[in-house]
Structures are given as structure tokens and as C-alpha cells.
């Protein structure tokens, strides 16, 4: 299994600003994922981040709004840019091992006012 | 493409009673199936998974699930629940062939509320 930490755990931000969320894994992994969980909703995949290549975004998500970095095999960041109240969500990163199991971080609870 | 339907958004049950949380999926390809649990203010934790082999899968905390290909279902069961099982449960499906788009499709979740 993998242990994942995220920073910050929560934040309250003003509209129009940006927030960068960090995801740290205790082992080297190839595939990392970023999900969004809006209030009362299920998880929606934002993008897949593989080290050494550009992130792959799902339909409805764009790089300008959610830029992602993946500088090495244990770390990734997701930035939520030009925030609006609709961006208020829990953002989770996850990693997948070679047994197709995904492990999730504790999430970052974002509130945009 | 895949989709997941969790038939019950909320399931109230008394402590020590049995529980079944229902999950149906649709897919044009073979899939892996998962159940995750999310305790309040926490991330997701894998309960169990079905990849292949025996259709009855046992997971952590006394949970089990049965894969039924003909009914495209993967219902989660526990014979006797505890107060500590109160949480939200998510069913998820992933394509058997991952390629470069290995991601999970999640259902909308079922909130299990165990009452004393």
C-alpha cells in the first residue's frame, strides 16, 4: 500500500485567487490522479499525471484552470486558478499500484468565498 | 465507456443487523470492480476489489461483495454492522485494459447510517 499526504488539508480562499495543492507519496509511483468531490457528490476525475509527460485532462477540465505538475515519481501539485465559488470542493489525489489498487490522500477541502 | 449506479443514496440500519449496499454497472469492456469507504472528513479507503477468479470477494472490516456478471452487479454485504461502519460507501469500476487511461468511474455513493 501507499501512504499519501496532501497539503493544505483545508483552505478558505477569495474568488479570483489561485491555490496550489500538494500531494506527496511515500513510494515511487508511475500514475497519479487528481479527483474532485463536490458537496454531496461522487468523485470526478480531473486529470491523470504521469511523471515526465503532460497531464491528461478529462472532458470538462482544462489545463489553464487546473495546471498540474509532476516533477518526480513521489510528488505532484494541482493548482486551482482564478477560483469561483463553484470550485468549492474536496480535491483528492490518488496513486495506482501494479495490482490496480488506487490509494487516496485525505483530501483538501477548499471553500471559495 | 463505463457507468456505475448505486441504487440507494441512504441506508439506515440498526446495529448488529445485516446490510446490503447495491451497485450495478454497465460497460462495453471487461472491468475491475471496487468498493471504497469514506469516513467523515477523511479520504477514501479500499474495502475490497474484484479482478478475476472467485466471484465472492472478502474485504476488510467483515465486508464482502459478490460479482454477478449476468446481472452486472457487485453488491456489498455485511452480516452484522457496527456503529463504526457509519460512513459513505462508493462503488467504482475501471476498465480491464488500462492502457494510458486507467481511471475509475465512481458511483454517487451510499450513506450507511448505523443506529444503536
d(CA B7, CA B110): 8
d(CA B110, CA B59): 18
- Is residue B103 classed exposed, middle or buried when 0-12, 13-18 and 19+ CB atoms within 10 A define those classes? buried
Contacts of B98 in chain A (CB under 8 A): 100
CA–CA min distance B106, chain A (Å):
6
Nearest to B49 among A41, A101, A105 (CB): A101
All domains in chain A, ordered by first residue: 19-105 (2.60.40.10)
Secondary structure letter of residue B107 according to DSSP: -
Instruction: Over range A45-72, report the average pLDDT.
Output: 91
A42:B102 CB<8 A: no
For residue A14, give the nearest of A67, A102, A66, A82 by alpha carbon. Answer: A82
- The reply to whether CATH 2.40.50.140 applies to domain B2-115 is no
d(CA A58, CA A65): 13
Which of the four pLDDT bands, split at 50, 70 and 90, describes residue B102?
A: low
Instruction: Over range B45-69, report the average pLDDT.
Output: 92
Residue-level pLDDT at A86: 95
Contacts of B93 in chain A (CB under 8 A): none
Residue-level pLDDT at B6: 95
Of A30-34, A54-58, B28-32, B81-85, give the range with the top mean pLDDT: B81-85
A100:B98 CB<8 A: yes
pLDDT in tens, B18-34: 999 999 999 877 788 99
d(CA A59, CA A49): 15
CA–CA min distance A84, chain B (Å):
23
Q: pLDDT exceeding 70 applies to what percent of chain A?
A: 100
- Secondary structure of chain A in the HEC alphabet? CCCEEEECCEEEECCCCCEEEEEEECCCCCEEEEEEECCCCCEEEEEEEECCCCCEECCCCCCCCCCEEEEECCEEEEEECCCCHHHCEEEEEEEECCCCCEEECCCEEEEEC
d(CA B65, CA B109): 16
Residue-level pLDDT at B100: 38
Joined grid coordinates for residue A113: 468565498
Instruction: Over range A43-53, report the average pLDDT.
Output: 87
d(CA A73, CA A88): 28
Contacts of B100 in chain A (CB under 8 A): 48, 56
Residue-level pLDDT at A14: 97
Contacts of A56 in chain B (CB under 8 A): 100-101
Which of the four pLDDT bands, split at 50, 70 and 90, describes residue A18?
A: very high
d(CA A110, CA A10): 6
Asked if residues A96 and A102 have their Cβ atoms less than 8 Å apart, the reply is yes
Residue-level pLDDT at B52: 80
Whether the predicted pLDDT of B101 surpasses 50? no
Instruction: Over range B14-18, report the average pLDDT.
Output: 97
* Cα end-to-end span (Å), chain B: 41
Of A38-47, B27-36, B74-83, give the range with the top mean pLDDT: B74-83
Residue-level pLDDT at B91: 96
Instruction: Compare B32 and A83 and report the one with higher pLDDT.
Output: A83
The verdict on B94 touching A (C-beta cutoff 8 Å) is yes
Amino acid at each position: 500500500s501507499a501512504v499519501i499526504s496532501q497539503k493544505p488539508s483545508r483552505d478558505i480562499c477569495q474568488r479570483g485567487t489561485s491555490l496550489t495543492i500538494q500531494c506527496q507519496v511515500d513510494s515511487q509511483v508511475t500514475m497519479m490522479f487528481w479527483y474532485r468531490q463536490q458537496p454531496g457528490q461522487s468523485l470526478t476525475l480531473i486529470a491523470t499525471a504521469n511523471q515526465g509527460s503532460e497531464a491528461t485532462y478529462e472532458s470538462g477540465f482544462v489545463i489553464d484552470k487546473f495546471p498540474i505538475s509532476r516533477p518526480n515519481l513521489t510528488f505532484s501539485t494541482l493548482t486551482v486558478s482564478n477560483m469561483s465559488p463553484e470550485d468549492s470542493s474536496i480535491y483528492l489525489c490518488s496513486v495506482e499500484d501494479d495490482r490496480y489498487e488506487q490509494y487516496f490522500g485525505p483530501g483538501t477541502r477548499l471553500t471559495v468565498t | 465507456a463505463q457507468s456505475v449506479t448505486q441504487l440507494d443514496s441512504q441506508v439506515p440500519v440498526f446495529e448488529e443487523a445485516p446490510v446490503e449496499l447495491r451497485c450495478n454497472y454497465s460497460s462495453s469492456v471487461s472491468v475491475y470492480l471496487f468498493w471504497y469507504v469514506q469516513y467523515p472528513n477523511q479520504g477514501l479507503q479500499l474495502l475490497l476489489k474484484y479482478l478475476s477468479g472467485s466471484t465472492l470477494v472478502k474485504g476488510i472490516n467483515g465486508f464482502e461483495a459478490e460479482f454477478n456478471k449476468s446481472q452486472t452487479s457487485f453488491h456489498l454485504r455485511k452480516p452484522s454492522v457496527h456503529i463504526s461502519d457509519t460512513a459513505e460507501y462508493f462503488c467504482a469500476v475501471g476498465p480491464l485494459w488500462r492502457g494510458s487511461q486507467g481511471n475509475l468511474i465512481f458511483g454517487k455513493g451510499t450513506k450507511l447510517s448505523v443506529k444503536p
